Amino acid sequence: MVVDSGIYLAFVTTLAGGPGQLISVGANYLRPFLVLRLTNSDHLAFALLNCGLVLLSDRTVVRSFDLDRRRLVALLFLDPMLAISLL
Higher pLDDT residue, 55 or 28? 55
Helix 43-65 to helix 69-76 angle (10° resolution) is 130
Rounded to whole angstroms, how far apart are CA atoms 6 and 33?
A: 12
Residues 54-73: pLDDT tens digits? 889 888 988 899 888 888 88
Phi, psi (rounded to 5 degrees) for 23: -115, 125
Q: Which domain holds residue 50?
A: 5-85
Provide the pLDDT confidence category of residue 2 given band limits of 50, 70 and 90: very low
Phi-psi region of 66 (alpha: psi -120 to 50; beta: other; left: phi over 0): left
* This prediction's pTM: 0.61
How many domains are contained in the chain?
1
Burial class (CB within 10 angstroms; exposed 0-12, middle 13-18, buried 19+) of 46: buried
